[in-house]
């Protein structure tokens, strides 16, 4: 494991795409493959690079954990400095309707905010992805624990994440790390949280 560097961006986008279908390869789902990374990797390595850790096996990035210390400040920064250029590059209606690309373009134009009751005691959030061949070997846990220590040292009392309702394997992994359900009102996703102190 090592800190993220500027040259990691393309490799992290690749990992995001190769794990973007509930841990499996999402490449067949996207005609615009960089969109997934533009949403779930780019703003983190741009605005919070100190909270980005890469799992590198010596041959390149195989996984990562990305965090935002203050979710509300991060959302505001993205609204001001990240989403506008993506909105210009990907106008609504610019991709085929009903596709995974269309869902991401809609998200870029109207990014969901984490619920207030989630952020209140779990102000930080994260994204973690690990290529399938490395899953189950403890690397995901080590990545998460490293970020937990960083967030706690920075004064965050808790961290949250969103996960697809059908991603049973990921949900079980997060529960083993101490996450509990904070919000289950979405039809598609759950918000899980973990106290850091």
- Tens of pLDDT along the chain (197 residues) come to 999 998 999 999 999 999 999 889 999 999 999 999 999 999 999 999 999 999 999 999 999 999 999 999 999 999 999 999 999 999 999 999 999 999 999 999 999 999 999 999 999 999 999 998 898 889 999 999 999 999 999 999 999 999 999 899 999 999 999 999 999 998 889 999 999 99
Euclidean distance between CA atoms 55 and 74, whole angstroms: 24
**Predicted TM-score (pTM) of this structure:** 0.94
pLDDT for 10: 97
Output the domain CATH number for residue 171. 3.40.630.30
Cβ-Cβ contacts under 8 Å for 84 (sequence gap 6 or more): none
What the block records as the tokens of 86 is: 């993506």
What pLDDT is recorded for position 45? 98
Full domain range(s) for residue 72: 2-195
pLDDT score recorded for residue 114: 93
Domains of the chain: total: 1
CA distances from 175 to 7, 75, 172, 192 (A): 33, 26, 5, 9
């Amino acid at each position: 494991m090592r800190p993220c560097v500027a040259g990691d961006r393309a490799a992290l986008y690749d990992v995001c795409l190769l794990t973007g279908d509930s841990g499996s390869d999402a490449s067949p789902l996207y005609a615009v493959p960089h969109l997934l990374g533009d949403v779930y990797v780019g703003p983190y390595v741009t605005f919070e690079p100190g909270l980005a850790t890469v799992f590198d096996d010596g041959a390149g990035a195989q996984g990562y954990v990305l965090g935002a210390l203050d979710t509300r400040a991060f959302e505001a920064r993205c609204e001001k400095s990240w989403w506008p250029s993506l909105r210009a590059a990907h106008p609504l209606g610019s991709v085929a309707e009903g596709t995974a690309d269309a869902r991401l373009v809609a998200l870029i134009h109207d990014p969901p905010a984490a619920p207030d009751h989630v952020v209140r005691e779990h102000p930080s959030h994260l994204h973690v992805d690990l290529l399938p061949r490395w899953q189950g070997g403890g690397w995901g846990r080590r990545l998460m624990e490293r970020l937990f220590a960083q967030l706690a040292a920075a004064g965050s009392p808790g961290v949250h994440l969103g996960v697809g309702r059908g991603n049973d394997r990921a949900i079980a992994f997060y529960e083993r790390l101490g996450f509990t359900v904070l919000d289950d009102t979405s039809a598609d996703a759950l918000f899980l949280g973990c106290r850091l102190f």
